Structure 1
Amino acid sequence: MGDIHIDTKLRADLAVREMLAATFQLVADVPTTVTTGCGQRVPLAMTSGDPGVVTCPPCREFAQREHLRLADLVQDLGLMPGSVIAVGTATSAAAKHREIAARFGGPVGG
């Protein structure tokens, strides 16, 4: 059995698909393969967004970096004058991304 990876979009395509389905009852096709954080192309079924499940070390490092980058972006967005995201909401979202990043930096299953 091979490693479990994370796709380069951090499974955002699936979240968008679920939101569209819930809102408009429109369902886009799920991709059969995705590009991973380690640069491979693998079946979607061999990916996860859960830090306790991803076993590919380069994918874990990629996910950790991306979640830290997203934390900084959302934090900065919340601090911009006239932002549509309240400071408290941005701070909370940034903290969640940092927590996920920390989990990707730890052991698998942790």
Structure 2
Amino acid sequence: MDDADPHIHVDRRVSQYDARVRNLLAGTFGLVGDLPETVTTGCGLRVPYAMTSARPESVTCLTCREHGHDQHVRLAEQIEQLGAMPGAVVTGAQAGRAAEHHRDLARRFAQGG
């Protein structure tokens, strides 16, 4: 961990600690684990969780911005595939909205700060 690093990074597991995911888990199961003190970032550094952001406009590390873009594009594709599967628990329209949300995040990561 580099205490002198001034950049804001993105967690390597982009959506793992997303507030929506935590709220869904809390609403479904009634409990959610604590956030980690440190995380591995998209650029490979290990930094305090407080030095990360899921908000593209806040991420200042260029390598992490690229990672965030790639991860959200991949997640959008996976969501669409899952929504199209027979017996899926979400409708195609719901999957489409979720995929578009991740494509929007990918665009915002690619635009730069």
Q: Distance in 2 between matches of 1:70 and 1:82?
A: 20
Instruction: Report the equivalent of 2:38.
Output: 33
Q: 1:83 to 1:26 in 2, by over 3 A?
A: closer
The one of 61, 74, 99 equivalent to 1:94 is 99
Q: What residue ranges of structure 1 are gaps of 5+ in the alignment?
A: none
Contact 1:37 1:62 in 2 (8 A): yes
The one of 84, 88, 92 equivalent to 1:83 is 88
Contact 1:14 1:30 in 2 (8 A): no
Residue 88 of structure 1: how far off its partner (Å): 0.3
Letter of the 1:12 counterpart: Q
Q: 1:9 to 1:48 in 2, by over 3 A?
A: same
Q: What residue ranges of structure 2 are gaps of 5+ in the alignment?
A: none
Give the TM-score taking structure 2 as reference length: 0.84
Q: Distance in 2 between matches of 1:12 and 1:96?
A: 16
Residues 1:60 and 2:65 aligned together: yes
Residue 12 of structure 1: how far off its partner (Å): 1.9
Contact 1:4 1:47 in 2 (8 A): yes
Instruction: Please tell me the root mean square deviation across aligned C-alpha atoms, in Å.
Output: 1.9
Instruction: Report the equivalent of 1:12.
Output: 16
- 1:71-97 per-residue CA deviation (whole Å, 9 max, x = no partner) reads 000011111112111000011111111
Instruction: Report the equivalent of 2:75.
Output: 70
Q: Percent identity?
A: 49
Give the TM-score taking structure 1 as reference length: 0.86
